Structure 1
Amino acid sequence: MSKIYSALVFAVIFIVSCYPKKPATQQQTSASIGANNYDSAPFVSPEESVKKMILEDGFEIQLVTAEPDISSPVAMNFDDKNRMWVVEMQGYMTDADGSEEDKKNGRIVILEDKDKDGRVDERKVFLDSLVMPRALCLVDNGILVAEPPRLWFVEINNDKAGKRTLVDESYTEGGNVEAQANSLFRAMDNWIYSGGSEKRYRKVGDKWLTERTHLRGQWGITQDDFGRLYYNNNSQNILGDYFLPGLGSGNENLQRVRGFNERIISDNRVYPARPTPGVNRGYKDNVLDSAKRLVSFTAACGPALYRGDLFSKQYYNNVFVAEPAANLIKRNILSGKGFTTEAKQAYQGKEFLVSFDERFRPVSLYNGPDGALYVVDMYRGIIQHKSFLTDYLKNEIKKRSLEKPVNCGRIYRIVPKNSSIKAVEMPASPSKLVEMLKHPNGWVRDKAQQMIIDGNYVKAEGKLRELMTKNAGDLAGIHALWALEGLGLLQSSDILPLLKHKDWNIRAQALSALPSTMTNDNVVKYKPVLQEMIEQTDTLIAPYLAFQIGKLKPFDAKVITDLYQQISGKYPNNIYVTDAVVSNLKGQEATFYRRMVQSRPDTTQAIFVQLRKTISDIKSNESNKDANLLRKQYPRGASLFRSTCQPCHGADGNGVRALAPPLNRSEWVTGSKETLIAILLHGLSGPVKVNNKVYQAPEINGDMPGIGSNKDIVDEDIAQLSSFIRNSWSNEAEKISREEVIKIRKKFESRQGSFTAAELEGTK
């Protein structure tokens, strides 16, 4: 079974490894509660479910709320009163057919612990009659709500929904629930980012800004103390960015900017406490071990980078990842080396939290205002969407009666045993909010910065500038910098000293915020400083320089060309500088290449290699077919591609890093009709060679599920989808008919499981 919403075109990583023995404590607990008896998965009370959990020594898990006060929770935010705003997605997979997904039964609710005993005792419905809501974000005096396909801003009037403003009519695209954008994470740089999306949003006055950004993960997003983002996909433990999120996304011709969407950890092994046969590809070799336990992530989601002040210091900067298919939460230890980051699993052979309750489905994790780690448990049997629900999993659902009940849910918090827990009361005073930027709890610092901006507390300018100056090297100073930026008060006189700060992290923050201060009057002050920074040998700050030089273009287009030549010459084989430069050359790649060749004879350097590749990609895209004509010719195929294939293979068909290989110029697509139909019906397991390159895990997910068992997708749909991709982009091949699909479906009607490349070689 896979995680809710994760794009499962490639569903289970294909890793061959031996499963180590469980730690004694887990074995003993397993024996004592009969965990090896997995023939049934009964609904149990929250109290009984807690008894079925094993948590790392020294911690305890506390129930915050449960049904009937919460129903099908998938996401939440805390407000400045420590109340939880929760998304209830009640229409999701209420049965194996997903028959209630069009019902207006979704809600946004406000949950409050009024008597301060740690348990929710008041529930208010803020917004109801929503169809499959999936994300929310508190901002200004309102809330962003994602209700596919739209993104709304709803004003808050005494805890009641006020005026609605349409922010984006296409926030999510396509009908596949698992592949739609989500999370709406308000980052340190004052922009709101989403998992599974290439858009970011920001409210400035009464207007909403929308900009292109990097595609990030699938479900969930989190940040570290410096504002770098972390996320994952269903089979990857942690992915993330080396650089601050607003950089390097301005050139669509550059298919990938290195330093973003990086694999932070390559170890995707999981250690469930109980047999987990109810995963979507449980019948395949190496998906489950000999004890029927999941081997590797198949539903990684909802990461939270712990920045609280309640756990001991060794847990700070750890990334916790939910795995609902295996009923566990993993802990990873993050570390940095220069501007790069990496992580390792905290343990081998065990997890931070495991459960013997198959219905325990942690889907989102959060830092809390009290320093606790919060767990959103959807508590249900089915979490795999119908789009990729295999016959095997349907049988597992039926065998253990996993369809009912639905619309339950729990929210827990994890705390150290015997700890004194108290949520921070956020002040209303602007000056006191500035002081809160020094707080050891990252949630409090973030919220204080947001409240200063949302309240438009320009009267705090002096205290913010003082804090930024005196505490420039501290986290408080960084928050003060971005608070000023959010208020529109940041000036060149603030940035220029920070560009010479001894701490490279501060120089990076200053460079990232620099564009918001540029004017015709002060840009002359920046040119010599940037020139001087380029001349220095500073490999840590060089990529940031290369990203931000382009911001001078509206003021002096010639000088940036000279500066790019200089920084490219100084770091000709630095891949991060190279990509940063090219990310600012949209439409000028060939011109810049010719200019570089005239002054630099060695065209084997990284800058030349990347420019040639980008120029080649541009020419290839120019020869692509007219997409509108194809959509008219194969309307159902185009729709199915957008909802089912595009999230992993990309709109341009060139594949998505960490997910899937290209469909464009792929012999698997344009070759044998039988091969392509067989893959679409039953799936394909890696490794796979496309256009002379071998793709395999962990570069991509190792298993593409078929769609032949989805009763909503008929033979004509598959015929149109096949024909659409065989003639999209640079592809050109004979179309496929419904009759040909029927023939191949019948030929392999007894097959269960995906094909391997070797099995299909004879049909190509």
Structure 2
Amino acid sequence: MKPNKQWVLGMLGLSMLVYTCKVSQNALKRDANGKVIVDTNPSPAYLTPQESLKTIHLPKGYHLELVASEPMIHEPVAITWDGNGRMYVAEMNTYMQDADGTGEMKPACTIKRLEDTDGDGKMDKSVVYLDKLLLPRMILPLDDRLLVAETFDNSIYSYRDTNGDGVADEKKMVFKNESENKSNLEHQRSGLVWNLDNKIYVTVENVRYKFENGLLKSEFQHEGSGGQWGLANDNYGRLFFSSAGGEAPAVNFQQNPFFGYLDLGGQYDEKFQDVWPIISTPDVQGGLGRLRPDSTLNHFTACTGQSIFRGNSLPEDLKGDLLICEPVGRLIRRAKVTNTNSKITLKNAYEKEEFIASTDMNFRPVNSVTGPDGCVYIVDMYRGIIQEGNWTRKGTYLRKQIDDKKLDKNIGRGRIYRLVHDGIKRDKTVPKMLDLTSDKLVPYLSHPNGWWRDNAQKIIVVRGDKSVIPALKELALNSPLQLARIHALWTMNGLNGLDRPTLLAALKDKDAEVRKTALWISEEPLRKGDEALLTAVEPLKNDPSADVRLQLGLSLRFSHLDKAQQIIAEIIKNHPEDQVLAESHKKYQRQIEDKEAAERNSKLLAAADQKLIKEGALIFKQLCATCHGSEGKGVINGGKDMPAPPLASNHDVSGDPEKIIRILLHGLSGPVNGKAYADVMPPLGGNTDEYIASVISYIRNDMGNKASTVKADDVKKVRNQTSGRTKTWTWNELNSIKK
């Protein structure tokens, strides 16, 4: 063949390749101004995985690959991998199988274990690892054990396959909590994330966990973590929560929740909360107020399943970005995370567009995570209804949309996708970490993919193998890699093997993140009054890094030594640019004062009333604070209207208790005192009379309110009077009731 002909054919082949890539991008249609043309009449019909892939739009160069789908999996909500790279999939098989949620409480859900046995990137082997579960919501592999938590159950269990058939045959309770839990399933905890600090975090609750001697030990946090479905962590252990009930796409990411819940004004603006679907989104709870004139969702309502990309098989500029799923909008937001003087701010990576968006009405991304191959994995529940039954009741705007479009017919399916990029090969190394001795795991603490680093650290700590401490010390002191030094320090800490000279050396490390790590590790001994360590950390009050100064202030927060509190005051005084520490400390001091005032008031109450208020405070901080704010003043959600009315110093709260009882029993929708709010107050009537009474008693005796407590008999009386009611109340209805 002549050279010219070869060249022509080569260029033709290249042009075909380029054309293929462009087609696979599923380029969006745009008008003359470049604005995306929205599909205003989408079909709710079921699409095969291959058909659905063609409806999903991504930026140039990015693609999705199908990893698993029905009939292999059904109703997937969460995925994870054990140390040998086997994928576990939690399936909520009874979730909203019709618009009324019929049969949702049946223990008929499963966790499956999937494997790719031929290395082609698709799962080809599936085993039911666990069955007969009630809506499993949290899964965390340890070594060859899997921690599992189900909905409506506050306990946590460990499962193990002892005979190698892929089916769990050993069950042990690792955390016992038999208290009743009847909260709506959308308001219960999720997460169970093993973080950099060897603590296991969840949403909602005011506890975190530590795995010791085969059991989970709870550690009290003076404030609830907040958030709802989904929990992300970055390379340095920062946690990112989100609150669908509060319509806040990201919350409580300014500091570790152990030091308190903290959101700041300006952490993102109103534009960040705006979402940009490419499809009409009529099936939204709340009705037309949540839609633009072009019929698309106008702001986050189901923010969930977030993750920070921490892998090595996608473009470098994606690393550290926050991905937030929005299943109502059929999209995934990509947020750029910026740190300015220790204040974290978020911004959409695109202008009035989203990272991933689909025109398939059944595309329901509910979770995302970085995998062993360095790519992002997306869990698509692929279904018609994505809201729980409290929001789909007959007579609601949403129910009419469900019935008209027959969204209740699309059930029992699900897809898992892998995000890849042109020209970057994913890491096909098959993990065998469970088969390696601990000394062979230490090198993985230097791996460029966070998944490998995390699992190496976790497995070593779970094993409690102190034989590797010398190797960890060498890594902590001499590795040229910042993240390797950080993981080595935390691994030694998890083994209770971090000696004082190594810690002191880390406090003087050239890298600010390593110094911050050493301060974070120092928090526990500082809290216990270690004066020698306090002297060693004091010079860091003038560290050039605001992140280091913030961590010093936080690590000294719970110390009762006068010198510790003096150092905090000096940082705030000498570094006025340290807004996060100043605001955090101010809030903490205010909480201390409020607690002291509450204790003084409590002494004037009978013992039974004191108990009621104390129990109500716990419930409020774990559940109600999602929408009303931890101090009852509302939530910061980027400039949008509050999702629920403020309760602090509210005359309606201190007024007629029966009105508040009715609201908690049956819920509330519509404007309150002429003001519209973003969300519906769901009914809590499934809980006991004592539960309802305690919550009301707390809000009537805190947050600037002062009124009589409410007793269980008061709730019982109203419950009997309204026993036939199936609708939520409106404010006008409540005000029209004559006593």
Counterpart-to-counterpart distance in 1, 2:179 and 2:86: 26
Out of 678, 683, 689, the residue aligned to residue 669 of structure 2 is 683
- The amino acid across from 1:703 in the alignment is A
The total of aligned residue pairs comes to 675
Tell me what 2:16 maps to.
none
Counterpart-to-counterpart distance in 1, 2:296 and 2:231: 27
Matched, 1:406 2:411: yes
Secondary structure (helix, strand or coil) at the match of 2:219 reads strand
Tell me what 2:227 maps to.
217
Matched, 1:232 2:242: yes
Counterpart-to-counterpart distance in 2, 1:262 and 1:627: 43
Give the CA deviation at 1:80: 1.8
- The amino acid across from 1:564 in the alignment is Q
Please report the TM-score for the alignment, with normalisation by the length of structure 1: 0.78
Secondary structure (helix, strand or coil) at the match of 2:119 reads coil
Flag the 1:519–1:131 CA change in 2: closer, same or farther, 3 A: closer
Out of 322, 326, 342, the residue aligned to residue 323 of structure 1 is 326
Tell me what 1:242 maps to.
254
Tell me what 1:562 maps to.
563
Give the CA deviation at 1:137: 0.5
Secondary structure (helix, strand or coil) at the match of 2:408 reads coil
Percent identity over the alignment is 27
Choose 227-236 or 537-546, whichever is displaced more.
Answer: 537-546
Give the CA deviation at 1:629: 5.5
Tell me what 2:111 maps to.
108
Tell me what 2:4 maps to.
none
Give the CA deviation at 1:171: 8.8
- The amino acid across from 1:241 in the alignment is F
- The amino acid across from 1:72 in the alignment is E
Flag the 1:529–1:644 CA change in 2: closer, same or farther, 3 A: closer
Please report the TM-score for the alignment, with normalisation by the length of structure 2: 0.80
Residues 630, 728 of structure 1: 8 Å contact kept:
no
Tell me what 1:3 maps to.
none
Residues 187, 227 of structure 1: 8 Å contact kept:
yes
Give the CA deviation at 1:398: 0.8
Counterpart-to-counterpart distance in 1, 2:156 and 2:601: 34
Matched, 1:191 2:199: yes
Residues 102, 131 of structure 1: 8 Å contact kept:
yes
Secondary structure (helix, strand or coil) at the match of 2:274 reads coil
Secondary structure (helix, strand or coil) at the match of 1:403 reads helix
Residues 526, 555 of structure 2: 8 Å contact kept:
no
Residues 38, 294 of structure 2: 8 Å contact kept:
no
Higher relative contact order (CA 8 A, sep 6+): 1
- Give matches, 1:291-690, under 5 Å: 291-390=294-393, 391-417=396-422, 419-426=424-431, 427=433, 428-471=436-479, 474-515=482-523, 523=530, 525-534=532-541, 539-549=546-556, 560-572=561-573, 576-577=580-581, 611=589, 614-620=592-598, 622-623=600-601, 645=624, 647-649=626-628, 660=644, 662-663=646-647, 665-671=649-655, 682-685=668-671
Counterpart-to-counterpart distance in 2, 1:566 and 1:388: 50
Secondary structure (helix, strand or coil) at the match of 2:106 reads coil
Counterpart-to-counterpart distance in 1, 2:591 and 2:103: 47
Tell me what 1:4 maps to.
none
Counterpart-to-counterpart distance in 1, 2:360 and 2:571: 57
Tell me what 1:126 maps to.
129
Counterpart-to-counterpart distance in 1, 2:698 and 2:674: 18
Give the CA deviation at 1:744: 14
Choose 75-84 or 530-539, whichever is displaced more.
Answer: 530-539
Flag the 1:745–1:79 CA change in 2: closer, same or farther, 3 A: closer
Residues 336, 347 of structure 2: 8 Å contact kept:
yes
Flag the 1:416–1:754 CA change in 2: closer, same or farther, 3 A: farther
Residues 171, 181 of structure 1: 8 Å contact kept:
no
Give the CA deviation at 1:101: 2.1
Secondary structure (helix, strand or coil) at the match of 2:334 reads strand
Give the CA deviation at 1:503: 2.5
- The amino acid across from 2:555 in the alignment is Q
Residue deviations 1:617-644 (CA, integer Å, cap 9, x gap) = 43135435679559999x9x99998997
Counterpart-to-counterpart distance in 1, 2:36 and 2:583: 56
Give the CA deviation at 1:441: 1.4
Give the CA deviation at 1:536: 6.5
Tell me what 1:8 maps to.
none
- The amino acid across from 2:627 in the alignment is C
- The amino acid across from 1:544 in the alignment is Q
Counterpart-to-counterpart distance in 2, 1:718 and 1:171: 11
Secondary structure (helix, strand or coil) at the match of 1:230 reads strand
Provide the aligned C-alpha RMSD in A: 4.3
Counterpart-to-counterpart distance in 2, 1:116 and 1:26: 36
Counterpart-to-counterpart distance in 2, 1:518 and 1:549: 6
Tell me what 1:704 maps to.
679
Flag the 1:706–1:425 CA change in 2: closer, same or farther, 3 A: closer
Counterpart-to-counterpart distance in 1, 2:252 and 2:632: 23
Counterpart-to-counterpart distance in 2, 1:37 and 1:230: 35
Secondary structure (helix, strand or coil) at the match of 1:227 reads coil
Secondary structure (helix, strand or coil) at the match of 1:571 reads helix
Counterpart-to-counterpart distance in 1, 2:609 and 2:467: 56
Secondary structure (helix, strand or coil) at the match of 2:325 reads strand
Residues 172, 181 of structure 1: 8 Å contact kept:
no
Tell me what 1:83 maps to.
86
Secondary structure (helix, strand or coil) at the match of 1:508 reads helix
Matched, 1:201 2:187: no
Residues 549, 571 of structure 2: 8 Å contact kept:
no
